[in-house]
Amino acid sequence: MGGCLMNRILKKFLQRGVDLSPVGVELREDNTNYFCTPKGASVFGWAGIDGIHFCFIRGFGEMVFSVSPMNTSPDYVHPVAENFTDFLRLILACGDVAAVEQAWMWNEAQFEAFLNENPTTQEQQQTLSEISEKMNLLPMEQPWTYIKNLQSSFDYSQIKYTEDYYDNDMTSEAELVAPEWKVYFDGDFWGHRGKDRAGKEIKLDKQFDWAGYHWVIPAAYSCSKGLVV
């Protein structure tokens, strides 16, 4: 993690000792870029599935971006918050970073339906309370509107990528050698909190429409206790 703007905001948070993994963000320093990680990115967190990571990008100030390697081009990278403080406020409003990362492809009704269908767990609620108390923050009002306004006004053409992104052959290779993520039966997709071994990936690459949503299933994971999709 680097960059003075990032350090000014993020360092304060890190000093509070809050673990964000229950709400979908693993903060770590052994960050490896994907083929679609923007040039000049400072990665600070990982969702723990599909290579999704969160970063700042040099030249865009304090803005927070999500990078989703399993998306289709050109939807790999999206701005999700104007700064790290707003990023935390969005998590407070949504209960988990999943809705924040996926908001770009939903209308407001779908966004609200996702939140209603995925209520916060007790562990997540404890983390949210800790964020609110230690950072003195309130949940973002109208999170979907905030994210949509940010993304609709953003000039995506300003994001620059490495040569791997622009070279189709290298893009395919980069996807194959990308850093491995792990999925656990008891830890869900947003953070491992058990002692069992990581599941074995079974590639599916399936997409379908059901119940008014477009579903994408890149893989399933065979764990000792069952199958995770």
pLDDT per residue over 152-171, tens digit each?
Answer: 999 999 999 998 888 744 44
Rounded to two decimals, what is the model's pTM? 0.72
**What would the mean pLDDT of 184-188 be, rounded to a whole number?**
56
- DSSP-assigned states of every residue in the chain: ---HHHHHHHHHHHHTT---GGGT-EE-S-----TTSPTTEEEEEE-SSTT-EEEEETTSTT-EEEE-TTSPTT-SEEEEESSHHHHHHHHHHHSSHHHHHHGGG--HHHHHHHHHHSPPPHHHHHHHHHHHHHHT--PPSSHHHHHHHHHHT--GGG----HHHH-HHHHHHHHHTSPP---BTTTBTT---SSSPPPEEEEEEEEEEETTEEEEEEEEEEETTEEE-
Q: Is residue 17 part of a domain?
A: yes
Q: Could you tell me if 145 and 42 lie in one domain?
A: yes
Residue that finishes a domain, picked among 163, 194, 212? 163
Q: Is residue 175 part of a domain?
A: no
**Would you place residue 134 in the very low, low, confident or very high pLDDT band (cuts 50, 70, 90)?**
very high
Q: How many domains does the chain have?
A: 2
Q: Could you tell me if 197 and 157 lie in one domain?
A: no
Q: Could you tell me if 201 and 155 lie in one domain?
A: no
Q: Could you tell me if 8 and 103 lie in one domain?
A: yes
Q: Could you tell me if 159 and 59 lie in one domain?
A: yes
- Domain range enclosing 132: 4-163
Q: Could you tell me if 146 and 68 lie in one domain?
A: yes
Q: Is residue 74 part of a domain?
A: yes
Q: Could you tell me if 25 and 104 lie in one domain?
A: yes
